[in-house]
């Protein structure tokens, strides 16, 4: 009994030690963000296909996760010193020294190579090429621009909107009207979404020198008006899948309602200009995208 008990304790300590070693590497992936990106890619694939190919679906999911993880890690390597200055990022593995830059770079390189290989050689070259473009735009253009100009949000919206288009291309091997429509929806959705984040975390971003808010880079009532403008564009865009015969009318109605609620959430921020209202815009954005994407899938023609 004593021996068995000792072995049990040793196993628990071994498991704990293993978890402590891999936990920082998992944290580098930004799991919630990576999962959302993968979901958007799978959404595009499932919306475009005529017949489900389970192998392709799995490869697309794994490949997209690897590429997204690589982009997130490269972003954190570049922003290591800046992350130390922000409350919400100072405990990340790189700022705390839990993982070295060299380890992180090797990790990102392996993930990126594996992801691009899977997408290019087991799905199609256009899917792999677009994924590589997304990785490059996010890691090497958007990331350094964040400290130079608020225009970085516009640049970052391109890799941010590519996942559903990439998923569509994985299914049909071309950039057709449907791919551009779902790209457009996610593209315009990002502006009120990210400006709400920048509004809430404005002081943190200022400490690190990130220039994320438009129109003078200070909180003012014109920014929520700009959020409302982009949110309003989502209402007509939401109808396009139905007009092009990709989905039915039920999902178009849901998209219009979701877009209207998203738009309404920006009105309170215009009126109050406070962080509580900005958080409501953020939650409305989180609600909008998966609601509309799931509605499209369920109402696919």
Confidence of residue 131 (pLDDT cuts 50, 70, 90): very high
Same domain, residue pair 144 and 218: no
Q: What is the mean pLDDT of residues 252-266?
A: 98
Using DSSP, state whether 89 is helix, strand or coil: coil
| Both tokens assigned to 255 | 């998209």
Predicted confidence (pLDDT) per residue in 144-156, tens digit: 999 999 999 999 9
225 and 257 in a single domain? The answer is yes
75 shares its domain with 168: yes
What pLDDT shows up at residue 19?
A: 72
Query: Residue 9 pLDDT more than 60?
Result: no
Query: At which of 175, 207, 232 does a domain end?
Result: 175
Residues 222, 215 contacting (CB under 8 angstroms): yes
Domain that holds residue 118: 22-175
| Residue 144 pLDDT | 95
274-284 mean pLDDT = 96
Same domain, 44 and 165: yes
Residue ranges of E strands in the chain: none
Contacts of residue 295, defined as CB under 8 A and 6 or more positions apart, other chains included, come to 247, 250, 251, 254, 255, 258
Q: How many helices (H) and strands (E) does the chain have?
A: 15, 0
Cα–Cα distance for residue pair 227/134, rounded to 1 Å: 24
CA distance 213 to 175: 32
Residues 28 and 153 in one domain: yes
- Supply the pLDDT for residue 7: 55
Helix, strand or coil for residue 217?
coil
Q: Does residue 8 or residue 105 have the better pLDDT? A: 105
* CATH number where 144 lies: 1.10.357.140
Q: In this predicted model, what pLDDT tens digit does every residue of 203-240 receive, in sequence order?
A: 889 888 888 998 777 888 899 999 999 999 999 999 99
pLDDT value at residue 208: 87
Instruction: Select from 141, 175, 209 the last residue of a domain.
Output: 175
**Contact 116/134 with Cβ under 8 angstroms?**
no
CATH number of the domain at 278, please: 1.20.120
pLDDT surpassing 80 at residue 252 = yes
Of 133, 188, 163, 190, nearest in space to 47 by CA: 163
What is the domain count for the chain?
2
Shared domain for 192 and 94, answered yes or no, is no
Percent of the chain at pLDDT > 70 equals: 94
Domain termination residue (choose one: 175, 191, 220):
175
Q: Are residues 39 and 117 in the same domain?
A: yes
Over the stretch 14-53, which tens digit does the pLDDT of each residue have? 567 777 788 999 999 999 999 999 999 999 999 999 999 9
pLDDT value of residue 11: 55
CB 205 within 8 A of CB 147: no
Q: Flag whether pLDDT at 202 surpasses 70.
A: yes
pLDDT band at 12 (very low <50, low <70, confident <90, very high): low
pLDDT of 20: 75
Query: pLDDT for 155-201, tens place per residue?
Result: 999 999 999 999 999 999 999 999 999 999 999 999 999 999 999 99
The pLDDT value given to residue 221: 87
* Joined tokens for residue 158: 């391109």
93-129 pLDDT, tens digit each: 999 999 999 999 999 999 999 999 999 999 999 999 9
Q: Do 296 and 193 fall within a single domain?
A: yes
């Amino acid at each position: 009994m004593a021996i068995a008990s000792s072995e049990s304790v040793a196993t628990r300590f071994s498991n704990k030690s293993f978890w402590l070693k891999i936990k920082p590497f998992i944290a580098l992936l930004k799991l919630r963000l990576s999962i959302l990106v993968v979901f958007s890619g799978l959404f595009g694939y499932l919306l475009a296909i005529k017949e489900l190919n389970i192998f392709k679906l799995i490869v697309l999911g794994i490949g997209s996760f690897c590429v997204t993880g690589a982009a997130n890690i490269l972003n954190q390597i570049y922003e290591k010193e800046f992350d130390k200055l922000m409350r919400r990022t100072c405990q990340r593995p790189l700022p705390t020294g839990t993982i070295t830059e060299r380890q992180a770079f090797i990790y990102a390189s392996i993930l990126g190579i594996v992801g691009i290989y899977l997408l290019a050689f087991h799905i199609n070259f256009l899917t792999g090429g677009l994924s590589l473009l997304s990785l490059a735009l996010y890691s090497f253009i958007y990331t350094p621009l964040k400290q130079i100009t608020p225009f970085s949000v516009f640049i970052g919206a391109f890799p941010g909107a590519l996942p559903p288009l990439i998923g569509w291309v994985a299914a049909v091997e071309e950039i057709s009207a449907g791919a551009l429509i779902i790209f457009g929806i996610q593209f315009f959705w990002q502006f009120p979404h990210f400006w709400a984040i920048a509004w809430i975390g404005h002081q943190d971003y200022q400490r690190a020198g990130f220039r994320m808010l438009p129109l003078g880079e200070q909180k003012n009532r014109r920014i929520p008006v700009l959020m409302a403008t982009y949110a309003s564009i989502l209402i007509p865009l939401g109808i396009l899948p139905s007009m092009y015969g990709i989905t039915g009318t039920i999902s178009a109605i849901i998209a219009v309602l979701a877009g209207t609620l998203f738009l309404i959430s920006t009105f309170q921020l215009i009126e109050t200009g406070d962080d509580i209202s900005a958080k409501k815009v953020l939650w409305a954005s989180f609600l909008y995208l998966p609601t509309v994407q799931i509605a499209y899938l369920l109402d696919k023609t």
